[in-house]
């Protein structure tokens, strides 16, 4: 099996997708992101020491610039990886249905267009595109349909994967959409799952889902204390302490039989005062949580940087650059490396 496949990474962020590519033995030779902090994070980590790292707006970077910067790395087999920032597709919106040959005529799909532009110009042997699962919502689905039409017109066989990070060893419920394309032929229908619900795993001698306590308990010591984690004196601190592990604010409502209810069930966002249970997987780690939005630690505090990084399956020695807010955003926006690895391995099988 040849290992001469290389990856070009767009919207690289803190490098979660890119770490997954390295785990699949496909080194990332070029990465670009518009956030300076993300590129500085990559520079701090040896895994990317041989990667050409560009801080800039993809709109301003021509495909020829990418080709020229690659030099000899442009020879041989390559894949394109990345996920356009997903905020435009996280909520319902009005979509223009007219499609054009080289892109999608929609004001909020411009970054998807940039990915497609590079895909068409660079002509890799395969690609993995990641986004939120709600991109398949009927309101947004024209984006996916147009993406597939364009990729297939460029000679790619495509596969749309609805994936949950839990299935690939990530201790977190995190649903994502992957569009995978190959100039080869897919040998199976979808990536092989590595982890399973406990009831199935125990019966069939398989690996169960990874619980959050397994990966973050070591960080619950004074050595890792952060001033940002404290909730004492805050509006809902006393309420948070009353929420049992694995529950949210609904534990303090009449719905749960709470005496003198403090809240009304289903009147708040579900992750309000949401607390982890050490013997269950985590809920989705977000990029910009509100002050009382979870998941919180079962000890009634906010999660620490090494904890959210571990929940996202970043390597233990991975270093992040920037303010606490910036680092939360970088980690929350990332594709979990273990999840990325399995998606890229699935593509790789079709290329060799």
pLDDT of 184-230, one tens digit each?
999 999 999 999 999 999 999 999 999 999 999 999 999 999 999 99
CA 130/CA 124 separation, integer angstroms: 17
| Whether residue 299 sits in one domain with residue 173 | no
In a domain, 174, yes or no: yes
| Whether residue 169 sits in one domain with residue 30 | yes
| Whether residue 225 sits in one domain with residue 174 | no
pLDDT of residue 108: 61
| Whether residue 174 sits in one domain with residue 59 | yes
CA distances 10 to 22, 61, 267, 281, 343, Å, are: 15, 11, 39, 29, 16
In a domain, 163, yes or no: yes
**Residue numbers annotated as active site:** 86
In a domain, 324, yes or no: no
In a domain, 202, yes or no: no
| Whether residue 128 sits in one domain with residue 50 | yes
Per-residue buried b or exposed e for 2-29, using 16+ beta carbons within 10 Å of the residue's own CB: eeebbbbbbbbbbbbbbbbbbbbebbbb
Q: Which residue do the tokens 């060893």 mark? A: 169
| Residues 337/19, Cβ–Cβ less than 8 Å | yes
CA 127/CA 344 separation, integer angstroms: 9
In a domain, 203, yes or no: no
In a domain, 200, yes or no: no
CA 86/CA 270 separation, integer angstroms: 21
pLDDT of residue 97: 36
Q: Which residues pair with 140 in a beta bridge?
A: none
CA atoms within 13 Å, Cβ hemisphere of 87? 6
| Whether residue 271 sits in one domain with residue 189 | no
| Residues 323/305, Cβ–Cβ less than 8 Å | no
| Whether residue 99 sits in one domain with residue 187 | yes
CA 14/CA 305 separation, integer angstroms: 13
pLDDT of residue 119: 96
| Whether residue 33 sits in one domain with residue 65 | yes
In a domain, 140, yes or no: yes
Q: What SS3 class is residue 132?
A: strand
CA distances 327 to 182, 306, 307, Å, are: 33, 11, 12
In a domain, 93, yes or no: yes
Report, as ranges of residue numbers, the positions in the chain whose pLDDT lies below 50: 1-2, 91-102
pLDDT of residue 1: 40
| Residues 224/315, Cβ–Cβ less than 8 Å | no
| Whether residue 183 sits in one domain with residue 62 | yes
Helix (H) or strand (E) holding 55: strand 52-55
pTM here is 0.93
Q: What is the tens place of the pLDDT at every residue in 272-293?
A: 999 999 999 999 999 998 899 9
For residue 49, give the CATH number of its domain.
3.40.50.150
- Residues of the domain holding 221: 212-317
CA 3/CA 299 separation, integer angstroms: 45
| Whether residue 313 sits in one domain with residue 337 | no
Number of domain units in the chain = 2
User: Can you list the pairs that 239-242 forms with residues at least 24 positions away whose Cβ atoms lie under 8 Å?
Assistant: 239/263, 239/273, 240/273, 240/275, 240/292, 240/296, 240/300, 241/300
pLDDT of residue 69: 87
| Whether residue 175 sits in one domain with residue 37 | yes
* Residue 23 CB partners (closer than 8 Å, separation 6+): 337, 338, 340, 341, 344
Structure tokens at 348: 């790789």
| Whether residue 134 sits in one domain with residue 24 | yes
Q: Which residue do the tokens 């952060």 mark? A: 226
């Amino acid at each position: 099996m040849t290992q001469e496949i290389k990856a070009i990474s767009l919207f690289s962020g803190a490098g979660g997708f890119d770490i997954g590519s390295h785990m699949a033995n496909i080194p990332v030779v070029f990465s670009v992101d518009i956030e300076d902090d993300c590129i500085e994070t990559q520079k701090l980590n040896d895994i990317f020491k041989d990667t050409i790292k560009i801080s800039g707006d993809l709109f301003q970077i021509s495909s020829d610039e990418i080709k020229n910067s690659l030099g000899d790395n442009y020879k041989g087999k390559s894949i394109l990886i990345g996920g356009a920032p997903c905020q435009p597709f996280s909520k319902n919106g009005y979509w223009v249905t007219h499609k054009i040959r080289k892109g999608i005529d929609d004001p909020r799909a411009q970054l998807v267009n940039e990915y497609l532009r590079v895909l068409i110009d660079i002509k890799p042997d395969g690609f993995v595109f990641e986004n939120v699962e709600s991109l398949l919502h009927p309101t947004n689905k024209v984006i996916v349909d147009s993406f597939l039409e364009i990729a297939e017109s460029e000679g790619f066989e495509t596969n749309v994967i609805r994936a949950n990070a839990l299935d690939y060893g990530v201790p977190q419920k995190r649903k994502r959409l992957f569009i995978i394309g190959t100039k080869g032929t897919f040998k199976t229908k979808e990536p092989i799952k590595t982890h399973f619900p406990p009831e199935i795993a125990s019966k069939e001698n398989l690996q169960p889902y990874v619980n959050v306590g397994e990966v973050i308990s070591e960080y619950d010591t004074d050595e890792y204390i952060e001033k940002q984690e404290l909730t004492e004196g805050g509006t809902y601190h006393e309420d948070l302490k009353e929420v049992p592990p694995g529950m949210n604010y609904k534990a303090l409502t009449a719905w749960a039989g709470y005496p003198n209810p403090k809240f009304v069930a289903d009147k708040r966002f579900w992750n309000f005062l949401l607390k982890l249970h050490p013997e269950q997987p985590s809920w989705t780690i977000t990029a910009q949580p509100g002050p009382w939005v979870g998941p919180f630690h079962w000890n009634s505090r906010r999660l620490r940087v090494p904890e959210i990084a571990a929940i996202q399956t970043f390597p233990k020695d991975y270093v992040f650059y920037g303010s606490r807010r910036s680092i939360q955003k970088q980690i929350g926006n990332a594709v979990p490396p273990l999840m990325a690895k399995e998606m890229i391995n699935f593509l790789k099988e079709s290329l060799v």
